[in-house]
Structure 1
Amino acid sequence: MIKLIAIDLDGTLLNDETTISERNIAAIKRAIEQGIEIVVATGRANFDATMFFKEIGLSPWIISTNGATIHRPDGRLYQSIPLDKQQAIDMLIQLEKDQFYYEVFIENRICAPKYGEKTLFDELEKGIFTKNETALFRRGIEIQFGQSGFSFISSCEELMDSDIDIYNILAISYIEEKLRDGWKKFNKLPNLTVVQSGNYNFHLQHKEASKGNALRLLTAELGIDLAQTAAIGDNHNDISMLQIAGKSAAMGHADNVVKEVCDVVTSTHNEDGVAQFIESILNENLI
């Protein structure tokens, strides 16, 4: 019997309008009514992810910043694995040198360089994209800037205060060669994991920070066996939790590498794929 369901946000629970469909909401509430713990597992910051659930009157556990932080339903921090501070600053200096757009996830804030907005739009103009793709990417940029707690900084020097923990660094580029070269610069650094959550980004985080490790820790806290868990996602940063969950589902639009590690493939994020997966679990629990 499934007692916990971990759900990714972007590309999974959230549709292209960055909203949670009525069917998905209804399925989640039915699961909660039947005693199933709902856990959100996202690359977003906790305070940003929380906003989606306040609107529908829910307060789940939230695994955020790709597993670098876990927050209780009341918003209190349960666990965190920040990056080594000096290593984080060194990487930010390199990203600024290479004119990467980046986002730094710290407690209660998401910081991006002031030059970042121009950089992203300039890269879109240089890229070989269709009109529809360009419009979609522009919408994505607007969503990035609209995140809760988002602010621009002059440079990473503003983050050097020893009291500021850096949980995750997200780098974005619409130039494939630039993105690939950036990945190579960081991929072999010690105590670091580099992971994708989309085709045009990579995250820099502590090697022990992952959705899978966070899910393992949380289930131990809640006294739930991993065999009694389910997880659903769509991208590479979800694989660590999909691999350890008792039952796993990939979204219909997920990369093949994600589908290959999952037990089932559901519909897309625009077709209530999460609801379909939860409904199947609820039906199985009744058998």
Structure 2
Amino acid sequence: MVNLIAVDLDGTLLNERNEISKTNLESIKSAQANGVEVVIATGRAHFDVQSIFETTGINTWIIGANGATIHRPNGELFHSTSINKNDAIDVLRWLEQENFYYEILSNQSIFTPKKGRDLLAVEIDKVISANKEVSIDDLQAAVNKQFSQYGFSVIDSYQDLIDYDIDFYNVLAFSFHQEKLQKGWAHFEQFEGLSIVKSAQNNFELEHKNASKGNALKMLTNKLNVDLTNTAAVGDSFNDISMLKLAGRSAAMGNAPKEIQDYCNEITLSNTEDGVAHFIYSLI
């Protein structure tokens, strides 16, 4: 029997228009009506998740920032694991020196540099110039998706935050240049206090080494007195692996890479075919 279901957002619960379909919403309500705890587990900020669900009448536990935060259904913070501030500043200094677009997920805001959109516009021009077969619409769609989040605060530089009393939960770096991303990955995977994950083709994300969706799921099941064997999880990307491996029953989205599908017990339909609803109804 499944008592708890952890559901990823991007590429999973959200469709190609970054929306939750009526069918998926109904499946969540059905699970809750049957006494199943539904948990949203995402790299996004909890306040962004709340804005997505604002008009749905659905409240859930939220594992945010790839496991760095856990919020109760009423929005109260239950647990957080933040990056050491000195480590965060070192990360941001390097990203700024290397001309990365970045986002800093903190308590109440997603901080991003004022010149960030210009940086991405320049990258798009370079990618299109180098490869005429690349679709500018696809690149712009990726940018629009990144900026569709709720809660942005614009800063001139990471230095604006040095004297702020904030928690650094997650740092996301974004680029359309794969060699640039590879350089960043090679640089940061050597940081002992940090973990690095990939949640989409054009990014990598950094959290405290103890922050992951899997660790957050384990902590939440302890809180709710749910045996891990009675949990399920569904996702589509590499930042989902820790919770997919931990859950009693796991499903990869039909649109997930094969590497993710290989970690799971089963493969559900894609995010454009209400794969989450298909999985939830198979459980309840």
Taking structure 1 as the reference length, the TM-score comes to 0.96
State which of 153, 158, 161 in structure 2 corresponds to 1:159.
Answer: 161
Q: Matches of 2:227 and 2:77 in 1, distance apart?
A: 23
Q: Deviations over 1:246-271 (max 9, x none)?
A: 00000011111110110000111001
Match of 1:235 in 2: 237
Match of 1:15 in 2: 15
Match of 1:138 in 2: 140
Q: Matches of 2:120 and 2:133 in 1, distance apart?
A: 16
> Cα distance, 1:136 vs. partner?
2.6
Say whether residues 1:190 and 2:192 are aligned partners: yes
Say whether residues 1:149 and 2:151 are aligned partners: yes
Q: Matches of 2:111 and 2:133 in 1, distance apart?
A: 29
- Letter aligned with residue 37 of structure 1: E
State which of 253, 257, 261 in structure 2 corresponds to 1:259.
Answer: 261
Q: Matches of 1:132 and 1:60 in 2, distance apart?
A: 39
Alignment check: 8 A CA contact 2:127 2:134 kept: no
> Measured at CA, do residues 23 and 236 of structure 1 come closer, stay the same or move farther in structure 2, by a change above 3 Å?
same
Q: Matches of 1:24 and 1:137 in 2, distance apart?
A: 27
> Measured at CA, do residues 133 and 4 of structure 1 come closer, stay the same or move farther in structure 2, by a change above 3 Å?
farther
- Letter aligned with residue 250 of structure 2: S
> Cα distance, 1:130 vs. partner?
6.6
Taking structure 2 as the reference length, the TM-score comes to 0.97
Q: Matches of 1:170 and 1:184 in 2, distance apart?
A: 15
- Letter aligned with residue 169 of structure 1: V
Q: Deviations over 1:5-62 (max 9, x none)?
A: 0000000000011110111111111111000000000000000011121221111000
- The aligned length equals 282
Match of 1:42 in 2: 42
> Measured at CA, do residues 96 and 4 of structure 1 come closer, stay the same or move farther in structure 2, by a change above 3 Å?
same
- Letter aligned with residue 97 of structure 2: K
Q: Please, which runs of 5 or more residues in structure 1 have no aligned partner?
A: 283-287
Match of 1:221 in 2: 223
Q: Deviations over 1:223-276 (max 9, x none)?
A: 000000000000000000000000000001111111011000011100100000
Say whether residues 1:51 and 2:51 are aligned partners: yes
Q: Matches of 1:80 and 1:133 in 2, distance apart?
A: 39
Match of 2:4 in 1: 4
Provide the identity percentage. Answer: 48
